[in-house]
Structure 1
Amino acid sequence: MKTSVWGLGLLCAISWTAGGHANDQSAGSEADQQLRALYTKEWEWRQATNAQERDDEGGWRRADHYPDVSADSYAERLAYWDSALGKLADIDRESLGDEERINAAVFEQIVTTLASNARYRTFEAPLNSDTFFWGGLHPQAAGFDTYADYRRYVGRLNDLPSYFAQHQENMRAGLARGYTPAAISLAGRDDSIAAYIVEGEENPFAVPLAHFPPSMTAAQREEISQAVIEAINQSAVPAYADLLAFMTTEYLPKARTSLAAVELPDGEAFYQAQIRAFTTLDLSADEIHKQGLAEVARIRAAMEDIVEEVEFDGDMAEFFHFLRTDPQFYAKTPDELMGVSAYVDKRMAAQIDKVLGFLPRKRHTISPVPDAIAPIYTAGRGGYGRCLMNTYNLPARPLYALPALTLHECSPGHSLQAAISREAPGDIPEFRAYNYFSGYGEGWGLYTEWLGGEVGIYRTPYERFGQLTYEMWRAARLVIDTGIHQYGWSREKAQDYLRSNAALSEHEIVTEIDRYISWPGQALAYKLGEMLIREKRAKAEAELGTDFDQRYFHDRILGLRSVPLWLLADELDDWIAAGGPNPYEGMELD
């Protein structure tokens, strides 16, 4: 049974900072108080709808059930978000303090996107080539500290049949109106279901049984072991088996054969809404396409310079072939690849105090992508405390591109970025601490690849070419995403464009193009965010001269946490106008 979301947390009158301290709701103007009450109420409500509940320390933990994802629940969400936006519009923005002005802008962007997705019924296609609603549900060893944690876990396992059934009902509705990802982009994704149809202790859902906390008694361990195995066999396995049958016999054979987002129901408006959601900028597909073409041409010229530098005898296509096939550029073992990545990360550690003023306490590890998802996973991915590198299919993982990838995903990219988001001085409401805008986050990640060149991370022309390859890859996305979804490019044309402009492996080219096909607009955020940051850095260097300190520039970006790109631009302009100060001047840092 699912608890109704309507009665949970709606009257909570506090907002929580990233550090877990409550803000005084009575402080500030009347407009400030109205805004805090609005975003706090919505956040508590949204967490409840996502099956999250408060723990004893005031943080969040997963409840004993999965969210209600029925069409009716999304109708309720849309009504709530539309109402919240109406209330936000009634607040006098001119009377807000500086911090609440930022909070209002972030809140509006988040809720507008949530409402837009509900309005376009994106929940009817809860999957793409990269991410699936059934993936990531099984836990690792962490996160199970008490007997109560395991009891909630058993509840979630037993809720899987209902949760999957709701998703499948939504997907059938999407099929009926022609709203699905392109079938070609989902090929093989059903393979990721197979591991969960194994009964007993070999099922991935049994992993927590090998990591009981010392506080649990022998009797509790025996009880939980029996309950988990029973839930796996009676709930999880049948749910995944039914899902696999649905995907292979019903969904994949009937998924649409067209690629363009504009060919979906209300496609023109939908694609523009996705562009706005992922980039947080008011740009048309045509404007983005032209910017992409210009960036591709600029980066191509820099690539040609390196080909000349290494005195390669051949054209760019031949140079790409050389990079894709010469054994010197590829690891022979997973440990070799992991070692190269780790060494890059440590070399960056020696430069990090030249890059940032505020440094977090939290450190990250570098781990391989789990085997179950590695064949269809990206080359790497970074987050709080952990940075993943893909060691599957080593001939598809060029070492010359690994320095740029490590900077982007680990440090000073996403893993460090996530730690700073949690630890940086300055109170932010909890809804912001948990938020992530792709343009901001991925823009920073791509910017750090360029920054690696500024601090001497790239040691060879080939590693510099690897950085340009990754930058070209993101620039080409501007052309390809809009080419596919606005101008009707074929999958083959998109692959050929990426293949001829970036020295990526064939495996990466195929998986990346399929991601762009099935996830309209998402790929646009990276380059647009990076371009904005580099544009503002160039402006700061020109206007501030010797007063420019990149540490404070970066501290200002990361100290804001995740914000819309238009707001980041405004805040950096204000920082430049103020003389490029240390954002933490006078603050007591831990």
Structure 2
Amino acid sequence: MTGHAPLPDTGGSEAAPRAERTPTELDRLAEQWMDALLELEPELHVELGRPGREGQYADLSPDGHAGHAGAARRMLAQVRATEPADEVDRVTRAELIRTLDLAVEQHEAGFWQRDLNVIASPAQGLRDIFDLMSTDTPEDWEHIALRMQNLPDAMDGYLASLRAGIEAGNTPAIRQVTEVLAQARKQSGAGSFFAALAARAPEPQRPALETAAGAAIGAYERLADFLEHELSQKATPADAVGREIYQLASRHFTGVEVDLEETYAWGVEELTRMVEEQERIAQEILPGAGVGEAIAYLESDSSMQLEGTEALRAWMQEVSDRAIAELGATHFDIPEPLRRIECMIAPTDEGGIYYTPPSEDFARAGRMWWSVPAGVTRFDTWRELTTVYHEGVPGHHLQTGLALYQRGRLNAWRRFNWNSGHGEGWALYAERLMDELGYLGTPAERLGMLDGQRMRAARVVLDIGVHLGLPKPDGTGTWTGDDAFPFLAQHVNMNEGFVRFEANRYLGWPGQAPSYKVGQREWERLRDDWIARNGRDLKRFHAEALALGSVGLGTLRQALLGS
């Protein structure tokens, strides 16, 4: 990290112990809220690996959302009336108040009425949960069939909420409606995920699965018809959500009040720095070449390419296993349950790479998923190495796994809590850390890391610029959604399908994309400030910070530095 304190020695310190702690009143409230979430959102049982509520979905109707907000208000009052007993409690109280307050604010602002985008809305979530469901036993297949049978009711509740948005004049952008319509048609067509999953069922369960799959496919047909014939007629023409909604979304994703104009200006400067750094490395790869020429040169080198998704999966697994073994012997204390990660090719082809945490008991390993776009069969290892570190170790797998491992110290809600600025910021910090530790050992691998960092800087500029309608850096007017794809194509060296999906993602999920770079910036500042106060012991800094679990960036600074 240019301009930051050099890495200290790593010997002599130990990670925070998995110490037992007597639960407090705030722990009791946090556990009570966790139980409430499990009741309100039964899918969490699958995510956490807890038995119960098999096959059930959250109530996505207007009444369901109102019930969720009401529960948050009641818990918020109790938490505010309870004083912390120790430092752990202080963090718990701060995070409960922050997240509960935000849940109420977002409900009152009608986020639930326009909850439709290409990557993280119920349109995807109703299907995505199947990726985490076990298929090992006949009972597992019965649970899958039950969930498919329940999907139509969940979909109807979701459609009722979107219709409430139409009545209130609070609708998503037409671009998101059009893109999700294509996704819904895919799930209701001949190549539906549900039909393919039913075909995998053992013979005794297959007839029931095929019937259930038909119900799920029918639900997505209704979604597609609704999007095409109802919502598209009332959708918002502009992609921008405006300052008020954006500020609230940004606070949700970062856990801190972001100065949007300052962050936009910093993003422009950071993007310039990334371009200049890439240009320097391009010269190392091919003297006299620009970045595009250096990338073309690397893409022609078959020694740094993988052919086919199975080769990709095996390479991801090899890189991940090696990082766990080596970093666990030097720079991090990695408990045994976290030394297993499963690298997977996702059953979808929408694009994107993501991580799903292990179950609470670590029986289901943490998983790195690659959703490979249709037709893509070749992968460049120099470009993707840093992504494996981002999703695996020392990125998300280490971060979320260490939080889950703190069972004797953190209540269940603290172990489960997630903040994007903290989590994605850590993952970008981890990418740079691996470069500093020598794991990106060639100019090509560093160029690949910078390719991702440049993309993250570009989307700070794009995301804030579009949604606030700010002036473009080149002086050619103010940002609109139509600027997104050409701007990203200039700064992201990936295939057109990936870049277009990413552009649509940022336009439909305001505030999320900048949280990566904003979080990385804060992690780097925190490290420098912590070292100035405590000395050059990076291993101890990482151990203390990650032992907190995922918290908002404001809470993180307060917990580590008291300011």
One-letter amino acid of the structure 2 residue matched with residue 524 of structure 1: P
Which residue of the other structure, out of 387, 390, 400, is the alignment partner of 1:418? Answer: 400
Change (3 A) 1:290 1:79: same
Unaligned runs of 5+ in 2: 1-17, 359-365, 470-477
- 1:271 to partner: Cα distance: 1.2
- 1:289 to partner: Cα distance: 0.7
Counterparts of 2:285 and 2:136, CA distance in 1:
55
One-letter amino acid of the structure 1 residue matched with residue 337 of structure 2: R
Which residue of the other structure, out of 333, 342, 348, is the alignment partner of 1:365? Answer: 342
SS of 1:367's equivalent in the other structure is: strand
Residues 1:102 and 2:91 aligned together? yes
CA contact (8 A) 1:379 1:397 kept: no
Deviates more, 1:284-293 or 1:381-390: 381-390
Residue equivalent to 2:527: 537
Residue equivalent to 2:489: 499
- 1:340 to partner: Cα distance: 4.0
- 1:246 to partner: Cα distance: 1.9
Residue equivalent to 2:75: 84
Counterparts of 2:170 and 2:152, CA distance in 1:
24
Residues 1:447 and 2:429 aligned together? yes
Change (3 A) 1:23 1:84: same
List per-residue Cα deviations over 1:186-231 (Å, max 9, x = no partner). Answer: 5443343334556999714526733xxxxxxxxxx95x55544443
- 1:128 to partner: Cα distance: 0.9
CA contact (8 A) 2:20 2:409 kept: no
Deviates more, 1:178-187 or 1:554-563: 178-187
CA contact (8 A) 2:123 2:180 kept: no
Which residue of the other structure, out of 148, 162, 179, is the alignment partner of 2:170? Answer: 179
One-letter amino acid of the structure 2 residue matched with residue 257 of structure 1: P
Q: Select the structure with the greater relative contact order (CA < 8 A; seq sep ≥ 6).
A: 2
Residues 1:457 and 2:439 aligned together? yes
SS of 2:493's equivalent in the other structure is: coil
Larger Rg: 1
Which residue of the other structure, out of 228, 236, 251, is the alignment partner of 2:231? Answer: 251
Counterparts of 2:353 and 2:27, CA distance in 1:
40
One-letter amino acid of the structure 2 residue matched with residue 280 of structure 1: G
One-letter amino acid of the structure 2 residue matched with residue 378 of structure 1: G
SS of 1:355's equivalent in the other structure is: coil
SS of 2:441's equivalent in the other structure is: coil
Residues 1:124 and 2:100 aligned together? no
- 1:64 to partner: Cα distance: 4.5
Residues 1:261 and 2:253 aligned together? no
Residue equivalent to 2:8: none
Residue equivalent to 2:276: 301
List per-residue Cα deviations over 1:76-95 (Å, max 9, x = no partner). Answer: 322332232233223345xx
Say what the alpha-carbon RMSD is for the aligned residues: 3.4
- 1:456 to partner: Cα distance: 1.5
Aligned 1:271-420 pairs, distance under 5 A: 271-316=246-291, 319=294, 330-352=305-327, 353-362=329-338, 363-370=340-347, 373-374=348-349, 376-381=350-355, 383-384=357-358, 385-392=366-373, 393-394=375-376, 397-420=379-402
SS of 1:386's equivalent in the other structure is: strand
Counterparts of 1:316 and 1:145, CA distance in 2:
48
CA contact (8 A) 2:425 2:523 kept: yes
- 1:277 to partner: Cα distance: 0.3
CA contact (8 A) 1:340 1:402 kept: no
- 1:67 to partner: Cα distance: 2.0
Which residue of the other structure, out of 558, 561, 565, is the alignment partner of 2:553? Answer: 565
List per-residue Cα deviations over 1:228-248 (Å, max 9, x = no partner). Answer: 444334x33332322222223
Counterparts of 1:324 and 1:256, CA distance in 2:
40
Residue equivalent to 1:218: none
Counterparts of 1:236 and 1:243, CA distance in 2:
11
- 1:457 to partner: Cα distance: 1.4
Residues 1:67 and 2:58 aligned together? yes
Count of aligned pairs between the two proteins: 524
Unaligned runs of 5+ in 1: 1-19, 26-31, 211-220, 263-267, 578-590
Counterparts of 1:525 and 1:204, CA distance in 2:
35
Residues 1:510 and 2:510 aligned together? no
SS of 2:337's equivalent in the other structure is: coil
List per-residue Cα deviations over 1:326-382 (Å, max 9, x = no partner). Answer: 777654333443344344324423431222024342301211122xx21x2214545
Residue equivalent to 1:11: none
One-letter amino acid of the structure 2 residue matched with residue 527 of structure 1: K
- 1:167 to partner: Cα distance: 0.9
CA contact (8 A) 1:356 1:550 kept: no
Q: Percent identity?
A: 24
SS of 2:369's equivalent in the other structure is: strand
Aligned 1:2-41 pairs, distance under 5 A: 32-33=24-25, 35-41=26-32
Counterparts of 1:537 and 1:201, CA distance in 2:
44
Change (3 A) 1:150 1:249: same
Counterparts of 2:425 and 2:353, CA distance in 1:
18
Counterparts of 1:496 and 1:419, CA distance in 2:
38
Length-normalised TM-score, structure 2: 0.83
- 1:573 to partner: Cα distance: 2.3
Which residue of the other structure, out of 211, 216, 232, is the alignment partner of 1:236? Answer: 216
Change (3 A) 1:181 1:378: farther
Change (3 A) 1:201 1:101: closer
Counterparts of 1:504 and 1:172, CA distance in 2:
37
CA contact (8 A) 2:308 2:378 kept: no
List per-residue Cα deviations over 1:80-118 (Å, max 9, x = no partner). Answer: 32232233223345xx31111111112112212221221
One-letter amino acid of the structure 1 residue matched with residue 491 of structure 2: N
One-letter amino acid of the structure 1 residue matched with residue 526 of structure 2: K
Counterparts of 1:275 and 1:184, CA distance in 2:
21
- 1:402 to partner: Cα distance: 0.7
- 1:23 to partner: Cα distance: 7.5
